[in-house]
Chains A and B, each alone.
Chain A
Amino acid sequence: MTMVPQGGGPVARGQGGGTSSLYDVLELILDRGLVIDVFVRVSLVGIELIKIDARIVVASVDTYLRFAEACNRLDLEAGRKAPAQLPDVMGNMMEGGARGKTKGAISGAVDAVTDSLTGKSSKSREPEEEEEAEEEVPRRRRPAARRPVRREKE
């Protein structure tokens, strides 16, 4: 499987080739691609690789308790390093652009991020929350479950 060469760091994770890369494109192979109705589709019952269902997690007591426990366990005094936040990402990218390290592409990206921050575009997605890893249940996913959220042409 061809992967984009990366500069290391977090990008490199999960890209060891083989299993992990197949994992990420499995949904594309199984659930997207051209469908020809007059052909017969092989049964996907018993597919043993992964569960590809979209996470359907709304508010649940389990989720709340898990978050509460995770907060209780935090070492509040140690390492107050801030998590990645969009303004940080944007600010750093602007710096990078100003140093002339990258041109064109990144300033375009920064503009786009700025737009999203200033509310020029609105996004809505499915409700989601973190969840405990679930047991991987072999499931059949029917084509009817495909549900593109948004598709635009440039």
Chain B
Amino acid sequence: MPLYVYSIAAKDHPHRLDGVSGVGSDPSPLRTVTAGPLCAVVSDIAEEIRPKRRDLNVHQQVQELLMADGVILPLQFGYIATDDDAVRQALESNAENYLGALGRLDGCAEYHVRASQADEAPLLQQILQDLPEASDLNERIRGGDRDPSLPLVLGEMVAREVQVRQEALAAGLTEALVPFSREYLAHPPSRTDFLNLSLLVHDEHKEALRTAEVDLAREIGNDVDLRFSGPLPPYSFVQ
């Protein structure tokens, strides 16, 4: 029977899974498949799994339940093994790497930080103040100058400046938070975000990180929307 695979942990992880159901519209209880020093947390599936909101939540909740009791390697959403033997083989063939990763991540969790410009107006205002050329162009357009090239020239100038300033802010935020981490990973931000940062933080530093997050958010003001998530399973640091 096919299995949905959630995560890998050491065999001696408590795996308190009683009464917890897995993914799918008719979910089966969670159980473990053990091979040597490792075990995988799985649930049987009888149908094709679709990336529904509920199943994404279940995947995440199982990781959070497990990580409360000890270090785990969370799988990416959506991996299916054909049967128990396939899981055992996967655990055995890569046991050394998995044990190494479990050791490296022990006592740590992932904290994820994003930032976006909540209110653009003050930033644009500051840019116009700092760049007389931009301010002049803006005044000409507002004064009724119909030259169609003016908005493009102004917009390009301002867009470039917005990018420069947001990158500086992202670099500063990164530098401020990274000292609390053992490892970190900055990804290209998506949509309107200008920061997408994952930190691997040991439990002994999490309070200091929280203090720093609160202080940064307060000091950075209302124009920037800083979003912190965590503690999370160490998705970004398992490979």
Closest to A131 in B: B192
Whether B188 lies near A126 (C-beta < 8 A) is yes
A47 at the interface (CB under 8 A from B): yes
Known interface pairs A28-B198, A33-B238, A104-B208; 7 further A-B residue pairs with C-beta atoms within 8 A, sorted by A's residue number: A6-B228, A10-B224, A22-B60, A64-B159, A67-B155, A108-B180, A152-B184
Question: In chain A, residues 13-66, which have Cβ atoms closer than 8 Å to a Cβ of chain B?
Answer: 13-15, 21-22, 24-36, 38-44, 46-49, 51-55, 59, 61, 63-66
Map CB proximity to A onto B69-96 as digits: 1 under 8 Å, 0 otherwise: 0000111111111100010011000100
Whether B221 lies near A4 (C-beta < 8 A) is no
B49 at the interface (CB under 8 A from A): yes
Interface residues on B, range: 35 or more
- Closest beta carbon of chain B to A47's beta carbon, Å: 5
Map CB proximity to A onto B138-180 as digits: 1 under 8 Å, 0 otherwise: 1001100000001110111011001101111111101111111
Map CB proximity to A onto B50-76 as digits: 1 under 8 Å, 0 otherwise: 111100110111001000000001111
Q: Evaluate whether A6 and B162 lie within 8 angstroms (CB atoms) in the complex, with A71-B138, A83-B223 already known.
A: no
- Closest beta carbon of chain A to B237's beta carbon, Å: 8
Q: How many residues of A contact B (CB 8 A)?
A: 104
Bound Cα distance from A9 to B129, whole angstroms: 27
Whether B191 lies near A90 (C-beta < 8 A) is no
Whether B126 lies near A31 (C-beta < 8 A) is no
Chain B residues with CB under 8 Å of A150's CB are 184-186
Choose among B80, B163, B230 the residue that contacts A129 (Cβ–Cβ < 8 A): B163
Closest to B114 in A: A24
Chain A residues with CB under 8 Å of B211's CB are 102, 105-106
A137 at the interface (CB under 8 A from B): no
Whether B229 lies near A25 (C-beta < 8 A) is yes
Closest to B206 in A: A4
Bound Cα distance from A15 to B5, whole angstroms: 28
Whether A81 lies near B122 (C-beta < 8 A) is yes
Bound Cα distance from A127 to B186, whole angstroms: 14
Whether B189 lies near A29 (C-beta < 8 A) is no
A144 at the interface (CB under 8 A from B): no
A98 at the interface (CB under 8 A from B): no
Map CB proximity to A onto B99-131 as digits: 1 under 8 Å, 0 otherwise: 000000000001110100110111111101100
Whether A105 lies near B151 (C-beta < 8 A) is no
Whether A121 lies near B235 (C-beta < 8 A) is no
- Closest beta carbon of chain A to B196's beta carbon, Å: 8
Choose among A32, A59, A89 the residue that contacts B156 (Cβ–Cβ < 8 A): A59
Q: Evaluate whether A10 and B163 lie within 8 angstroms (CB atoms) in the complex, with A34-B73, A34-B75 already known.
A: no
